[in-house]
Every structure is written in structure tokens, then in C-alpha cells.
Amino acid sequence: MAEYRIAEAADLLGVSDDTLRRWVEAGRVATRSSGGRTVVDGADLAALAASLVDDAERDRTRAGRVSARNRMSGIVTRVTKDTVMAQIEMVCGPYRLVSLMSAEAATELGLEPGVRAIASVKSTSVVVERP
């Protein structure tokens, strides 16, 4: 299971560390201690990221400072696979991206909700890779 330190999680969501800490205090996302550090489980972070896409809080993200071109770091929020194809949904800051790829590629990349990934945007294609 993927886990993220507060700073990493905040970066993936496109918010400040302080904003994420306030959301933790408000109960929007759970944390736990791991090796003396406070961490957020990847699946919990993915759920929060997905909720921010349609939430008024997205205005508090770094939407004005994130480029929608080239490579965007984010978190996988949903993976739907059949025997041939996979649909990968990601949240990269304030943006929700969907990529279609082979099921084999998604499995090889280890894509599942809560995993950090990078979306490379070229023309109408979105390529997803692991950092």
C-alpha cells in the first residue's frame, strides 16, 4: 500500500502543507504514524483527491500555478480493467485526467488507487508512468 508524508500528499493535491493539516484536523482524511512520521494512506489520499475535483475547495489548490502541458504529477484515483484495456483516472492538482491503456501496461506499472503517477500530455494522448 502506498503512503505519503504530509508534504508529498499536499504537493499531489496542489495545496499547502498547512491546508492539508487543517483537512486532517477536520477529519477529511485520516493519518497514521509510520516510522515516526505522519503519513496518509494512498487509497485515502486518492479518495480525498477525487472529492476535490467537484468540490469548491479546488479553488484553494494551485490551479493558477499548474501547467496543463507536458508532465503532471498526481495520484491515481480509480482503475477499471477488463481483459484487454484499462481506464486510469488521476487527479493532478486541480485537474482530473483519464487515460486508456492496455491492461497489461497498467498491471506492469502497478497502477491502483493511491499510487503516485505522472501524466504526460501530448496532443490528445495522455501517457501515465510511475515516478
Per the prediction, the chain carries an average pLDDT of 85
pLDDT in tens, 68-127: 457 788 999 999 999 999 999 999 888 889 999 999 999 999 999 999 998 887 766 677
**Looking at residue 46, which CATH number applies to its domain?**
1.10.1660
Residues 28, 53: one domain? yes
Cβ distance 85 to 103 under 8 Å?
A: yes
Please say which residue of 61, 80, 109 terminates a domain: 61
pLDDT in tens, 63-74: 444 444 577 889
Residues 87, 123: one domain? yes
Residues 42, 81: one domain? no
Cell of 79: 482503475
Please say which residue of 61, 78, 104 terminates a domain: 61
| Mean pLDDT in residue range 10-37 | 90
Residues 54, 80: one domain? no
**Looking at residue 105, which CATH number applies to its domain?**
2.40.50.100
Instruction: Give CA–CA dist 113/47, Å, rounded.
Output: 8
Q: Given pLDDT bands bounded at 50, 70 and 90, which one contains residue 34?
A: confident
Cell of 10: 499536499
Distances (CA, A) of 37 to 6, 7, 21, 118: 9, 11, 13, 25
- Closest by CA position to 65, among listed 95, 35, 89, 45: 95
Domain count of the chain?
Answer: 2
- Closest by CA position to 99, among listed 131, 114, 121, 116: 121
Q: Is the pTM of this model over 0.75?
A: no
Note down the domain range covering 15: 3-61
**Which residue(s) pair with 37 in the sheet?**
34
